[in-house]
Chains A and B, each alone.
Chain A
Amino acid sequence: MKTEDLKNSQEYKYGFTTDVENIRAPKGLNEETIKFISNIKKEPKWMLEWRLKAFERLKVLKEPNWQKPKYPKINYQDLYYYSAPKSASEKPKSLDEIDPKILETYKKLGIPLDEQKRLNGIAVDAVFDSVSVATTFKDELTKKGIIFCSISEAIKKHPDLVKKYLGSVIPLSDHYFATLNSAVFTDGSFVYIPPNTRCPMELSTYFRINASETGQFERTLIIADKGSYVSYLEGCTAPMRDENQLHAANVELVALDDAEIKYSTVQNWYPGDENGVGGIYNFVTKRGACRGKNSKISWTQVETGSAITWKYPSCILQGDNSVGEFYSIAITNNHQKADTGTKMIHLGKNTKSKIISKGISAGKADNMYRGLVEIKNKASNSRNYTQCDSLLMGNKCGAHTIPYIKNNNSTSTIEHEATTTKINEEQLYYCNQRGLDQEEAVSLIVNGFCKEVLQQLPMEFAVEAQKLVAISLEGSVG
């Protein structure tokens, strides 16, 4: 990374707001709000009933508080649960109908929605606050029988698939935030890959929180039918605001026999300022079911944003010979906090899981890996390998590793390795002696530390992610 670029990017460069007129549900969490959301989305009755059932359940659930990062009590009655740009109240049929200001926003973010520009052949679904504003490359995908659309559209056009799989991985009553999402989710992406089909391009969703005092509750559902393959990537940004905004998404993945889903996240929500004011609460439930034999789900996450990141993308390895992977980079700087990791639940025989976690902590930040590996009694000959590395920069930050390991099958093995290191002064000196300045040296060393995870990302995003890693740590050494 060039020094000049670094200097120009000292601040969070996605922190701008877009001035568009919004349609909002009245503030507050109640049946009326849920009906408002369902109504404005013209949902079928079964969907509304499903939401209301979740809401009933929510009333008896309590917010969990076992996590390390604590946060002030959220007043759920003081939030907007639905906010949509006015111009998108009818989903635009073509790009020409999208508010030019929103198109401009995505352009600024480096996400051209214009299909002519062919962003490296990546199909994009763009979600702005509570609604999906555009999905590109639809025609090309449709020819292969691939469905890639907003979840709102899928509820109307593909109700059988949605009914069958929605909530099948994350049940309605799972836990507070997941259930809250089930009640009030607004939009998100839906993907269905038909049997024996390899999705010919990367599918990608870009989430943007724009409006203030608004929670974002997106819902993503990806189904890879027998023998299919899909690689999916999500990116997220938000404007700089001095309030904390809640983002509680649910992501469900289902892989049937011999199917593979690769799910990558580059999370760069606004992290708050250097004094810890503002920033996104990123409380997300992500879970994948390897339902079929020989199926595979691979999570890759690069978490650099958010005031608090609290998530455990998980794999339920039901099918025999199924494989679950989790590759993670979590960077916390200034006052950011992360409590993240994964859950690998081995149910089928010969199931394998692999966890590679790289936590980097700088400033006054706190970074926690928390992960569960559980091998159930029928999961014979199963294996897990876990490697958790933490890198500390400076002496005011923290790194913690809490692995939960349960093995109920004597033919199965679990391996866990963990290291904690401080960024090495001698390494920095060596780099400086070769002409690299402090920022370049840190970027080089940290990118090396994260390499195993970075190389899991699709090519087009790996370079971006490398830069993001460097930017997130600016000014943390020296």
Chain B
Amino acid sequence: MLNIENLEAKVDNKNILNGLNLNIKPGEVHAIMGPNGSGKSTLANVLSGKNGYETRGDIKFNDENLSELSTEERAQKGIFLAFQYPLEIPGVNTNVFLRTSLNSIRKAKGEKELDTLSFLKLVKEKSSELGIDERFLSRQLNVGFSGGEKKKNEILQMKILQPKLAILDETDSGLDIDALRIVADGVNSYKNKDNAFLIITHYQRLLDYIKPDFIHVLSKGKIVKTGNAELGVELEKTGYANFI
């Protein structure tokens, strides 16, 4: 599904990613761990097509060259990024945002736009799965939301937009145990053999709830170690020092 070969990324002439390789197949959950400044969020941003990065190397998403696609085209083709710091958009209801988003993606896929009633039904179903109060949806997007609410909102969006590849950028940071569990349940209930996850995290604790197939250690813009779920437990004990 995703094939990254020798990816380099620069910001303001500073090298952040230095020849990163990664392959993700449908049905897989990959976790990326690494110290601060190792390039984790840059990887997420480069994959989703954020401006401001100078990149080299090859990224293929379902055999399509990603670097030729705009941010919205990537989203329309099924790449979803759960933001580390979800943005506030004052005056825009969460509902309206979600519906505009869903319909843009459906339209790009040549599907019919969802009418208000079917949309509300869908939202109701997905939010109750996550234990999110419906009133939450008529609030302005992320405005005045707590850290936990913002992250839950990201997961709700993921479940509604149904991406092929979901990238979670430190979705677990700043969450209490209950919120962490809700986020993890959201991921686990969405996971199937056709989609894949790339989970960026600092801590093992999220991986107690979401079992990764692979854990990669990122250091200085390169993957320096790849292992299975055991690796996370080891990292938690020993820190990154042995790997970087």
Q: Are B51 and A448 in contact (CB under 8 A)?
A: no
B92 is contacted by which of A424, A425, A432, A444 (Cβ under 8 Å)?
A: A444
Chain A 429-464 against B: per-residue CB contact (8 Å), 1 yes, 0 no? 111111111101000110111111000000000000
* Contact (A430, B83) CB under 8 Å given A435-B108, A448-B91: yes
The answer on a CB contact under 8 Å between B72 and A437 is yes
Contact across chains for A436 and B86 when beta carbons are under 8 A apart:
no
Q: Is there an interface contact between B97 and A447, defined as CB atoms closer than 8 Å?
A: no
* A residues near B157, Cβ cutoff 8 Å: 434
Given A436-B72, A437-B104, the answer on whether A425 and B51 have CB atoms closer than 8 Å is yes
A444 neighbours in B (Cβ, 8 Å)? 89, 92, 96-97, 100
- Interface presence of B183 (CB below 8 A): no
A168 on the interface (CB 8 Å rule)?
A: no
Scoring A425, A434, A449, A451 by chain B CB atoms within 10 A of each residue's CB, the highest score goes to: A434
Contact A433 B75 (CB under 8 A): yes
- What is the CA–CA distance of A440 and B140 in the complex, to the nearest angstrom? 17
Report A-chain residues with C-beta under 8 Å of the C-beta of B72.
432-433, 435-438
Question: Does any Cβ of A come within 8 Å of B123's Cβ?
Answer: no
Does A63 belong to the interface (CB within 8 Å)? Answer: no
Flag whether A410 is at the interface (Cβ < 8 A): no
**Which residues of B lie under 8 Å from residue A433 when comparing CB positions?**
48-49, 71-72, 75, 80-81, 83
- Whole-angstrom distance between the alpha carbons of A426 and B100 in the complex? 18
Residues of A within 8 A of B50 (CB): 429
Tell me which of A429, A430, A435 has the highest count of chain B C-beta atoms within 10 A of its own C-beta: A435
Separation in Å of the B46 CB from the closest CB of chain A? 13
B55-100 residues at the A interface, CB under 8 angstroms:
70-72, 75-76, 80-81, 83, 86-87, 89-92, 96-97, 100
> Is A427 interfacial (CB 8 A cutoff)?
yes
Contact of B75 among A425, A427, A432 (CB under 8 A): A432
The answer to whether A436 touches B87 (Cβ under 8 A) is no
Distance (whole angstroms) from the CB of B111 to the closest CB of chain A: 12
Q: How far is the CA of A429 from the CA of B52 in the complex (A)?
A: 11
Residues of A within 8 A of B182 (CB): none
Q: How far is the CB of A21 from chain B (nearest CB, A)?
A: 46
- Bound together, the chains give a CA A438 to CA B83 distance in angstroms of 19
B107 to chain A, nearest CB (A): 8
Give min CB distance, A346 to chain B, whole Å.
Answer: 29
A447/B87 in contact, CB under 8 A:
no
Task: Find out whether the CB atom of A435 lies under 8 angstroms from the CB atom of B104.
Answer: yes
Query: Which residues from chain A contact B83 at a C-beta distance below 8 Å?
Result: 430, 433
CB distance from B126 to the nearest CB of A (A): 15
CB distance from B45 to the nearest CB of A (A): 9
Output the nearest chain A residue to B98 by Cβ-Cβ distance: A434
Residues of B in contact, count (CB < 8 Å): 30
Pairwise interchain contact B71-A429, C-beta atoms closer than 8 A: yes
- Asked if A448 contacts B90 (CB within 8 A), the reply is yes
CB of B38 closer than 8 Å to a CB of A: no
Q: Which of B92, B96, B108, B140 has the most CB of A within 10 A?
A: B92
B51 partner residues in chain A, CB cutoff 8 A: 425, 429
By the criterion CB–CB under 8 Å, are A447 and B91 in contact? yes
B104 near A440: Cβ-Cβ < 8 Å: yes
A430 touches B86 (CB 8 A): yes
B contact residues around A435 at 8 Å (CB)? 72, 75-76, 101-102, 104-105, 108, 161
| Minimum distance in angstroms from A437 CB to a CB of chain B | 5
> Which bracket fits the contact residues of A?
20 to 34
Q: Is the CB of B101 within 8 A of A451?
A: no
Contact B91 A450 (CB under 8 A): yes
Measured between beta carbons, the chain A residues less than 8 angstroms from B140 are: 448
A436 pairs with B101, CB closer than 8 A: yes
The CA of A429 and the CA of B85, in the complex, are separated in Å by: 12
- Please report the C-alpha to C-alpha distance between residue A193 and residue B70 in the assembled complex, in whole angstroms: 56
A452 CA to B97 CA, complexed, in Å: 17
Tell me the bound Cα distance from A429 to B72 in angstroms.
Answer: 9
B75 cross-chain contacts in A, Cβ below 8 A: 432-435
Residue of B nearest to A454 (CB): B91
Contacts of A445 in B (CB 8 A): 89, 92
Of residues A427, A430, A449, which shows the largest number of chain B Cβ atoms within 10 Å of its Cβ? A430
Query: What's the nearest-Cβ distance from chain A to residue B234, in Å?
Result: 33
Cβ A427 vs Cβ B91 within 8 A = no
With contacts A433-B75, A444-B97, A444-B100 taken as known, whether A452 is within 8 angstroms of B161 at the C-beta atoms is no
What residue of chain A has the Cβ atom nearest to residue B109's Cβ? A435
Q: 0/1 per residue, B118-156, Cβ < 8 Å to A?
A: 000000000000000000000011000000000000000
Contact A427 B89 (CB under 8 A): yes
Given A433-B48, A434-B75, A435-B75, verify A424-B104 contact (CB < 8 Å): no
In angstroms, Cα B108 to Cα A440, docked, is: 13
**Separation of A437 and B49 alpha carbons in the complex (Å):** 13
Contacts of B87 in A (CB 8 A): 424, 426-427, 430
Within the complex, the shortest CB–CB distance from A393 to chain B, in Å, comes to: 15
CA distance A274 to B207 in the complex (A): 55
Given contacts A430-B83, A433-B48, A435-B75, contact A449 B91 (CB under 8 A): yes
- Given A444-B92, A447-B91, the answer on whether A432 and B71 have CB atoms closer than 8 Å is yes
Closest to A429 in B: B50
**Chain A residues within 8 Å of B71, by CB:** 429, 432-433
Provide the bound-state CA to CA distance between A434 and B141, in Å.
13
Docked CA distance A424–B81 (Å): 18
- Which residues of A have CB within 8 Å of B108? 435
User: Which residues of the partner chain B approach A437 to less than 8 Å between Cβ atoms?
Assistant: 70, 72, 104
Distance between Cα atoms of A224 and B242 in the complex (Å): 82
CA distance A447 to B89 in the complex (A): 10
**Chain B nearest CB: distance from A442 CB in Å?**
12
What chain B residues lie within 8 Å of A434 (beta carbons)? 75, 97, 101, 104-105, 157, 161
For this complex, 19 residue pairs linking A to B, each with C-beta atoms less than 8 Å apart, are A427-B87, A427-B89, A429-B71, A430-B87, A430-B89, A431-B89, A431-B101, A432-B70, A433-B80, A434-B97, A434-B105, A434-B157, A434-B161, A435-B76, A438-B72, A447-B92, A448-B89, A450-B91, A451-B91
B residues near A (Cβ < 8 Å) are: 48-51, 70-72, 75-76, 80-81, 83, 86-87, 89-92, 96-97, 100-102, 104-105, 108, 140-141, 157, 161
Taking A433-B75, A434-B105 as given, write out 7 further A-B residue pairs in contact, using a Cβ cutoff of 8 Å, ordered by the A residue number. Answer: A432-B75, A433-B72, A434-B75, A447-B91, A448-B90, A451-B91, A452-B91
Measured CB to CB, the residues of A under 8 A from B are 424-427, 429-438, 440, 444-445, 447-452
Report, nearest first, the 3 A-B pairs whose CB atoms are least far apart.
A448-B91, A451-B91, A448-B92
